[in-house]
Amino acid sequence: MNRHQTPTLAVEVVNGTMGRFLRVQSRSEDVNGGCAAQGAHDGGVCVSKHGYLSAVFLFNQCSFPKQQYKRVLKCNDSMSKSFLLVGGSSDIARHLAALLLDDNHQVTLLARDGERVNELVDRGAHFIEGDALDETVVQAAVAHASGLSEQGLAGMAHLVGSIALRPPHATKVEDFEAVIQTNLVSAFFALKTAGKAMLKAGTGRMVFTSSVAGSYGLTNHEAIAAAKGGIEAMVRAAASTYAGRGLRVNVVAPGLTETRLGATVLRSDAIREASVGMIPLKRINEPEEVAQSMHWLLTGAPDNFTGQVMHLDGGMSALRG
């Protein structure tokens, strides 16, 4: 065979001890230098035996040259899932999107600020500009994300948030309502619309964002506590409603996190020091850590994990010391 000729490949999915793999076999005994020519790298294992050249790849790490083997296997088309991030321009959402793109998944970002997601769009993410409080926009985003994969919408993460820190007697009703609308009502729109799409496929995962304030009494946090506490209660109810229909619904409740929103709380060194002093682990979250938790809930958590609030707050909501 010509050394530059595309070999005949056989592709099969194999269940291994570390997950699902692809086994790619070629009848060629010499394919342009062996395993390297097949692209057996980035975690791949290559073995030559009895005239076969075999390469085993992690299920989401197709690393052989797509320009040569696209007729045999379309990695992105056949293996990727589709995920929608509502509030996709937030600091945590951008880290979560990057993790999903690293896995070769399709990612749709619904957000108002397109400038903040340009780098992700350059990597292949889809961007829909709009407000998470516009139900029509949310429906369009869900429809778009659902159409990117034959499996439909595999997962949705809601990362919309706002905060208003005032005691009740100094809080205007319209300011309280704005916090409820931004956090809780937008979460309901996402739950309603994404859930309906997932019911058609009989499977799907949804992850919402709460706060330590949803379960821990914090001074001047009445508005955000009501909104985030409502999200946690809604998630538990939705998990019960859809448990028998294949949907998993969970929530991550971070403590203080180094984000733009967190910066409105940590506005001085004195406040930062006092805030850290309240946390048993004496540290503030990084946005990557929250994103990793949400990524696990969307892609790696057991199928029997639902209706749970994952507290990522350095022990603040559970420990006393």
159 within domain boundaries: yes
The 3-state DSSP class for residue 108 equals strand
- Choice among 8-17, 90-99, 186-195, 216-225 with the minimum mean pLDDT: 8-17
Instruction: Check pLDDT > 70 for residue 45.
Output: no
4 within domain boundaries: no
CATH code of the domain containing 86: 3.40.50.720
Nearest alpha-carbon partner for 84 in 62, 101, 106, 56: 106
318 within domain boundaries: no
The tally of domains found in the chain comes to 2
Which string of DSSP letters, residue by residue, matches 29-51?
Answer: S-STTSHHHHT--SS-EEEEETT
66 and 119 in one domain? no
96 and 38 in one domain? no
Q: Which whole number is the average pLDDT over 199-211?
A: 96
245 and 181 in one domain? yes
276 vs 226, which has greater pLDDT? 226
Query: Which domain-ending residue is among 52, 75, 98?
Result: 75
* Each residue's pLDDT tens digit, 218-250: 888 999 999 999 999 999 999 999 999 999 999
Asked if 89 and 128 touch (Cβ cutoff 8 Å), the reply is no
104 and 128 in one domain? yes
Q: Which whole number is the average pLDDT over 168-194?
A: 97
pLDDT number for residue 219: 85
Asked if 112 and 138 touch (Cβ cutoff 8 Å), the reply is no
For 203, residues 6+ apart whose C-beta sits below 8 A from its C-beta are: 154, 246, 247
Query: Which domain-ending residue is among 41, 75, 109?
Result: 75
Highest mean pLDDT among 241-250, 255-264, 276-285: 241-250
pLDDT number for residue 37: 38
Amino acid identity of residue 155, one-letter, is G
Instruction: Check pLDDT > 80 for residue 110.
Output: yes
* Each residue's pLDDT tens digit, 122-144: 999 999 999 999 999 999 999 99
- Choice among 30-39, 107-116, 291-300 with the minimum mean pLDDT: 30-39
* Each residue's pLDDT tens digit, 281-321: 888 878 999 999 999 999 999 999 999 999 987 787 877 75
116 and 47 in one domain? no
57 and 156 in one domain? no
Asked if 140 and 129 touch (Cβ cutoff 8 Å), the reply is no
270 within domain boundaries: yes
Distance in angstroms (rounded) separating the CA atoms of residues 67 and 77: 14
pLDDT number for residue 165: 86
308 and 193 in one domain? yes
pLDDT number for residue 314: 77
84 and 37 in one domain? no
- DSSP assignment, residue 184? I
- Choice among 71-75, 194-198, 271-275, 283-287 with the minimum mean pLDDT: 71-75
246 and 212 in one domain? yes
Q: Which tokens in the block code for residue 171?
A: 């809080």
The 3-state DSSP class for residue 313 equals coil
Distance in angstroms (rounded) separating the CA atoms of residues 221 and 256: 13
- What percent of the chain stands above pLDDT 90? 56
Instruction: Check pLDDT > 60 for residue 3.
Output: no
Distance in angstroms (rounded) separating the CA atoms of residues 314 and 289: 12
222 and 123 in one domain? yes
Pairing of strands 106-111, 126-129: parallel
pLDDT number for residue 126: 97
176 within domain boundaries: yes
pLDDT number for residue 105: 97
137 and 70 in one domain? no
pLDDT number for residue 263: 66
pLDDT number for residue 15: 43
321 within domain boundaries: no
Q: Which tokens in the block code for residue 312?
A: 């990522």
Q: Which whole number is the average pLDDT over 175-189?
A: 97
Instruction: Check pLDDT > 50 for residue 13.
Output: no
The 3-state DSSP class for residue 263 equals helix
pLDDT number for residue 216: 81
Q: How many Cα atoms are found within 13 Å in the side-chain-facing hemisphere of 236?
A: 9
242 within domain boundaries: yes
280 and 134 in one domain? yes
pLDDT number for residue 261: 73
The 3-state DSSP class for residue 195 equals helix
317 within domain boundaries: no
Q: Which whole number is the average pLDDT over 138-159?
A: 97
Quote the mean pLDDT of the chain: 79
Domain that residue 65 falls in: 9-75
